[in-house]
Amino acid sequence: MGKVSNNRACAVVWLSIVGLCGAMNAQAATDDADDMDTNNMPVKVQMFAPAKGDHVGIGGRGWFVDLAIQYPTTLDNTGFSGFQLTGPAVHNNVAPFPGTFSAGADDRLPGLIVLASTTTLGVGGCQNIANLFNLTGVTNTSATGVELWDTWIVGGPFFGVDTPSKIYVAVAADLNGDGIYNDAPGVVPDVNGDGMCSAADLKALGVASNIVKTHFYINP
C-alpha cells in the first residue's frame, strides 16, 4: 500500500514537472513568435547590454542599458530632438547637452519604449523608462537612413537587488500619422490586465521596430 502511494506521489510530481516545462516551452515559443512577427519592421533596434544571462551591477546599480537604433528615414523623422548628456539631481537638464531625467517617454528620443519587469518606478512593468537614458547621439547618417545610440547607467537599485529581471525595447509606430517616430507613451497599456507588460502589449500598442528582449540577473 505504501509503495503504491509512493508511486502515485512520484507520478503526480512528474506530471507537475512536465506541466511546468510545457508551460515554459510554450512561453518560449510565444517569445520566438513575437520576434518573428516584428523582425521585418522598418526600424532596427540592437541592445548591446545587458546581454542574455548577464549578472549586472553591484547592489542593484552601476549596470548599463546600451542601444543602437537604425531608422530608414531622415534625422528629422526619427523624432530625435537633440543631443543628450543628463542624469539625476544637478545633472538633470543642464548644459552642454540638456535632457530631462525621469520615468516616461524620452524628451530627446520620443519614440523609444523601454520596459523593465522589476522596475519599482511609476506603475511597474508597464512604465516606460526611456527618459532615464543619459547619453543620446547620432552615430551615422547616410542616404538611406540614420543610426542613433542611446545609453543609460543605472544609478540606484530601482529595479531590484539579487533578482532576475527582463527588459523589452522597441520603437513605437507612427501612431498619429505625422510621419515622425515620436509616439511612445509614458505608460504602455496592459492589454490583458495582468499587471505586467511584454512583447504582446507592445505589439497591441503598435511598433515600428523589432522588439528586443533579454533576461538577466541584477547582482546583490
Domain ranges of the chain: 1-38, 42-218
Residue that the C-alpha cell 528582449 belongs to = 213
Q: Is the peptide bond before 50 cis (omega within 30 degrees of 0)?
A: yes
In this predicted model, what pLDDT tens digit does every residue of 51-99 receive, in sequence order?
A: 999 999 999 999 999 999 999 999 999 999 999 988 877 777 768 777 8
Domain 42-218: homologous superfamily in CATH: Immunoglobulins (2.60.40.10)
DSSP string, 36-81: HHHTTSSBEEEEEESPTT-EE-BTTBS-EEEEEEEESS-GGGGT--
Confidence of residue 27 (pLDDT cuts 50, 70, 90): very low
In this predicted model, what pLDDT tens digit does every residue of 136-192 receive, in sequence order?
A: 999 999 999 999 999 999 999 999 999 999 999 999 999 999 999 999 999 999 999
56/63 Cα distance (integer angstroms): 6
* 3-class secondary-structure state, position 172: strand
209/149 Cα distance (integer angstroms): 15
CA distances to 7, 22, 49, 53, 159 from 26, in Å: 28, 6, 26, 20, 27
More confident residue, 38 or 218: 218
The number of beta carbons lying within 10 Å of the beta carbon of residue 128 is 25
Strand order in the sheet with 145-153: 44-49, 64-71, 145-153, 135-142, 84-85
Supply the pLDDT for residue 22. Answer: 46
Q: What is the mean pLDDT of the chain?
A: 86
pTM confidence score: 0.82
125/133 Cα distance (integer angstroms): 17
95/48 Cα distance (integer angstroms): 27
